[in-house]
Amino acid sequence: MNKRKFVMRFLVVLALASLLMIPIAAVAEEVPELPVKGMVTMLDLGAKYCIPCKMMIPVMEKVEKKYKGRAAILFIDVWQHRDQAKRFGIKAIPTQIFFDKDGKEVYRHVGFMSEAQIDQQFRKMGLE
């Protein structure tokens, strides 16, 4: 292979790799102040395009409705907000972190978490 073909292939591969690293969302969401002051908080850290994280979406929607006004249910896309992954010490996604009303972390789970498991954790934290 001559040098010119090699360089062209390298540039194509580099361009494709760069495209894959760009978040698809045009506007990055703003990260709220965490944990929410004076409220039990469940934080789900994942990515919109990760398969187990996608499986969490309907669970999070149900939990958010169920605990509305009693608990803050939040999601952060760590591919868009890499600083938050570092801040919370995320090693794998999805990761769910539960905070009490005082903002103290009380439980951490890695992987898919069912609605029943979330309910159970909230009960342990005194939330019915």
Instruction: Give the residue numbers annotated as catalytic, written as ranges.
Output: 50, 53
Tell me the residue type at 121: Q
User: Starting at the edge strand that comes first in sequence, how are the strands of the sheet with 95-99 ordered?
Assistant: 71-77, 40-46, 95-99, 105-110
Report helix, strand or coil for 42.
Answer: strand
Of 80, 91, 92, 81, nearest in space to 34 by CA: 81
Strand pairing class (95-99; 40-46): antiparallel
